[in-house]
Amino acid sequence: MKINHFRRMVISVILIVCSTMIVFMESSCSGRKSVELYHKFPDKSWARFNYLRFEISINKVESYNIYLFARLAPGFPYETLDFNMIMNTPAGEERINEYQMKVKSKAGIFCIECSEDSCLGSILLKKEINITKPGILKIEIENLTPKLVTEGVLGVGVRLVPLGK
């Protein structure tokens, strides 16, 4: 029962964030701005089967770099953040990849940028991907850490950077 409530809350937050970002993108006057969508985890943990869905409105046909970034608590216990990405382009192309974002060395030292209260890691998902048709770019992220709940994840986001090529 608690998990269903959590899922509904997560879906509501994602829809609000996506709607806000679409409005922001449509009101933007420059086509060269990066777009970020971010999902914050209020309980500082990411449930194994809590799929994150991001929808980005693509208005201009061009090449982009797409990144995933994660804000982690200083006590994050793993060396990597493992996840699967499914991306559907406006033209109907589907791309699926598994990733491991390196977070700590074997000695347990963070190898990403850290402040007092959090660490921020980033990984390139797609380099110079050519989006050939305007529409909605859909990105789904699945947590692949082999635990039901991955503690210490403050939030996960995606960043779309136009290359202007």
**Residue range 35-89, pLDDT digits in tens:** 999 999 999 999 988 999 999 999 989 999 999 999 999 989 999 999 999 999 9
Average pLDDT in the chain: 85
pLDDT at 163 over 60: yes
Query: pLDDT-based confidence at 23, cuts 50/70/90?
Result: very low
Residues belonging to the chain: 165
What is the DSSP-derived secondary structure letter of residue 13? H
| Residues 127, 20, 140, 81, CA torsion sign | positive
CATH at residue 57 = 2.60.120.380
Total number of domains constituting the chain: 1
* Domain region containing 13: 2-162
Question: 164 — alpha (psi -120 to 50), left (phi > 0) or beta?
Answer: left
31 and 60 in contact (C-beta within 8 Å)?
A: yes
Query: pLDDT-based confidence at 120, cuts 50/70/90?
Result: very high
User: Which residues pair with residue 135 across a beta bridge?
Assistant: 58
Find, among 48, 130, 122, the residue nearest to 84 by Cα: 48
Q: State percent of the chain over pLDDT 70.
A: 80
